[in-house]
Chain A
Amino acid sequence: MAIVHCNNVAIKGIAACVPEHIEDNKTLSLLGGSDEAERFIGTTGVEFRHTVNGTGLCTSDLCFEAADRLLKELEWGSDEVDCLIFVSQTPDYILPATSCILQHRLGLSTDCFAIDISLGCSGWVYGLSTIASLMASGTMKKGLLLTGDTTTVTKSPRDKSTYPLFGDAGTATALEYTEGSGSIMFHMGTDGKGFDSIMIPDGGFRNFYNEHSLQTEEVEPGIYRNRLQSILNGPAVFTFGITKAPRSVNTLLEHFQLSKDDIDYFVFHQANLMMNEKIRSKLKIDPSKVPYSLQEYGNTSSASIPLTIVAELASVLKKGHHRILASAFGVGLSWASVVFDTSDLVCPDVILLSASQKTIP
């Protein structure tokens, strides 16, 4: 069983950055009128989304701003960071790895471990397990986990089954090796049988970019996309999420003999309101312990958990000790849950980035 248990590594700070541009689903013509838009918002919970909106802003730009701000607030010197993990499915290039670009852009030492991980919704928890495991031996003292996606670029603006759900965001999570700081506990799972439930068919090396890739087809009545745009099989992902997420949370709690009462907040990947509420009610968790950011930001892939923490919990977490359970599920199919503690968490407000501020390296 994929259980991970890391001691002496603590989350010191979390920051999040979104594009300044806001799309309002209430007035989105794709949803075809106010009644349908209202029904969509009522079911999915997604009202507004911050999107890069054709400006060319990349995930790495958003992550850079979040990391830069976080390092300043933590008063960490950039040369102190020993490892950097970038989790995204919207990297700058097919090669090189975006983590290498960010190492240089952030001014980190060349004595720095840097790696990209390709995961979406479950990416923050998977990335956290990887960086915490790397740091647990105590030789690397400070690390940065950067996660996020500009998924709106991969969605067809003529596909109402995907486009109105997603927003763009980049986040930074700072970890430090601190003896006696407690444990971070994980449970993870994978089921590649559902690999085609959320996928971009062309542009990789199985289906190389070709002359048909940009041809838009009507895949279902009223739903148009090309083969470089993302498919989302809603019902398949829905049944997957409402089954696996509660099981993963319960497995994690049981394995480490924790009770739900030990947890101050349960932060779930922001998939959509109906799915998340289903998961919450199956776990019988009080709504006051389950923050949501999807009304303002939509589903932001691997940024959704840290973004929700920054947007909804920062004022609480800045002071005192808190125990959080986070659980994520989605593309892969892949899922993961974690319990971690925070103590006077450094958590600057959500950063808004306009394209004109972008400083391309």
Chain B
Amino acid sequence: MSEKFIDLFKETLEITDDSVQLDTEFRKLPQWDSLAFLSVIAMIDEEYDVVIEGNDFIKLITVADVINEIKNRS
């Protein structure tokens, strides 16, 4: 799942290099902003049928945290 999620995440943020890894703190990516945030929420809902609410998303720091949150909810 990790590899697929990273691909989807990069596609959503239009990232083509390998700057996204499991331990990447996604908020530090230059492509991360409020529109990117919304796109990622929409992508997770679309692909995994999981809606992570804003207040819960705040606690997630790395890409791996997001993947674990999706796993816990699906």
Contacts and interface: CB of A to CB of B under 8 A. Distances in A.
Interface of A: 39-40, 43-44, 161, 197, 233-236, 238-240, 242-243, 274-275, 278, 281
B34 interface: yes
A39 B46 CA distance: 21
B53 interface: yes
A195 to B, nearest CB: 13
A251 B19 CA distance: 43
Task: Name B's interface SS.
Answer: helix
Which residue among A235, A275, A278 has the maximum number of chain B CB atoms within 10 Å of its CB?
Answer: A235
Contacts, number: 44
B57 interface: yes
Task: Name A's interface SS.
Answer: helix
Interface of B: 34-35, 37-39, 41-42, 45-46, 51-55, 57
A40 B35 contact: yes
Contacts of A44: 35
Given A235-B41, A238-B41, A239-B41, A43 B35 contact: yes
Contacts of B46: 278, 281
A287 to B, nearest CB: 16
A324 B52 CA distance: 31
Given A235-B54, A235-B57, A274 B39 contact: yes
Given A235-B41, A242-B45, 20 more contacts: A39-B35, A43-B38, A43-B39, A161-B34, A233-B54, A234-B34, A234-B37, A235-B37, A235-B38, A235-B57, A236-B54, A236-B55, A238-B38, A239-B41, A242-B41, A275-B38, A278-B42, A278-B45, A278-B46, A281-B46
A238 B52 CA distance: 10
A156 to B, nearest CB: 15
B52 A239 contact: yes
A235 B34 contact: yes
A161 B35 CA distance: 9
A234 B55 CA distance: 12
Nearest to A220: B34
B15 to A, nearest CB: 14
A239 B51 CA distance: 7
A238 B37 CA distance: 10
A234 B45 CA distance: 16
A257 to B, nearest CB: 26
Contacts of A236: 53-55
Contacts of B34: 161, 234-235
Q: Which 7 A-B pairs have the closest CB atoms?
A: A236-B54, A235-B54, A239-B53, A238-B38, A43-B35, A234-B34, A235-B37
Contacts of B39: 43, 274
A239 B52 CA distance: 7
Contacts of B55: 236
Nearest to A193: B55
Nearest to B45: A242
8 contacts: A234-B34, A234-B37, A235-B34, A235-B41, A235-B57, A239-B52, A278-B45, A281-B46
Contacts of A240: 53
Contacts of B57: 235
B29 to A, nearest CB: 14
Contacts of B54: 197, 233, 235-236, 238-239
Nearest to B58: A235
Contacts of A40: 35
A36 to B, nearest CB: 9
A281 B46 CA distance: 9
Contacts of A197: 54
A239 B73 CA distance: 15
A240 B54 CA distance: 9
A63 B39 CA distance: 35
Nearest to A221: B33
Contacts of A243: 51
